[in-house]
Copies of this chain bind each other. A is one copy, B any other.
């Protein structure tokens, strides 16, 4: 089995890295930049002022588009595409977290490609071109800053869909950990879960994999647990914020799948996308609810894999089913330490039968797909997992 690793993004990391933005855009030869961002925090923190100043100093023209929300919306993407085409944008600078970067990637495809951008997310077309993207990261979570993926929510029916394409990997990513000192306790918690889960989804691949990659994966998960818990209590701890930031990037750039079946599993992610698409809960919280339920449902197929994860991450000694069950228990304890809900009910979601069927319709693309690769899930399996999570 052949796997590949391709992570061409130039990473600029450390205290003061934010001031490199002008230099990086100059290296890219950007002439007309779309500065894309979220709410008011980038404005209030002074980061947007710094960006504007840097662009002016380098005499690079720019337009701005703010207003990206968590679970970024297709309508704003369409607006960005319109602006980009009208203004002749040749580079997009995403200033924010995963939602802003994902929105920027979608805008990037849309400016260069004809037709409806949603077609890429709906699986109808492959993008051949994209406007290049650069990132100043302000939230450690999704790993979109080094990944080839983006997730967009279509408000018509609240469909949340992901699209992966290497042409969307950012040209540069400015990772300045101090920019995340102001991230809230809750966002730090759900971000940490998201970071862990990107590696866990890859850990549960089908077939044999590379032992060294398992060891690296466990190191990333262990460190994210340790540093996440520190960052929650000490939001301006540089080591903790810096480790989380880099873990966010490495968890989703492909490194944690090298030598494995690179599809990973991703059933939890896809089940979660429908959940947060419908209920607008935080992605990390949804994952914390669904992962233990998924484990409970599938561990018997290959208990040793679960026990290995527990051994490498938590140092458990047990193997087989005992090891698997203990691993699941340890992850639940861990998620509890991160103040996560462990059931839909705890998250305030009272799942009716109608809602469940709607979730299943969406998760199966109305009967057109299964989920997972470590274990293939049919509609009935998905139903069982949602019910275990209830």
Contacts and interface: CB of A to CB of B under 8 A. Distances in A.
A239 B213 CA distance: 11
A13 interface: yes
A305 to B, nearest CB: 15
Contact of A17 (B2, B13, B211, B222): B2
A20 B2 contact: yes
A247 B247 CA distance: 19
Contacts of A15: 1-2
A349 interface: no
Contact of A246 (B16, B212, B243): B212
Interface string A216-239: 100110110001000000000001
Contacts of A210: 239, 242-243, 246
A11 interface: yes
Contacts of A215: 219, 222-223
A17 B219 CA distance: 27
A246 B223 contact: no
B11 A5 contact: yes
A3 B247 CA distance: 16
A242 B1 CA distance: 12
Nearest to A146: B5
A88 interface: no
Given A212-B247, A215-B223, A219-B215, A10 B17 contact: no
A6 interface: yes
3 nearest A-B pairs in the assembled complex, by CB-CB distance: A212-B243, A8-B8, A5-B11
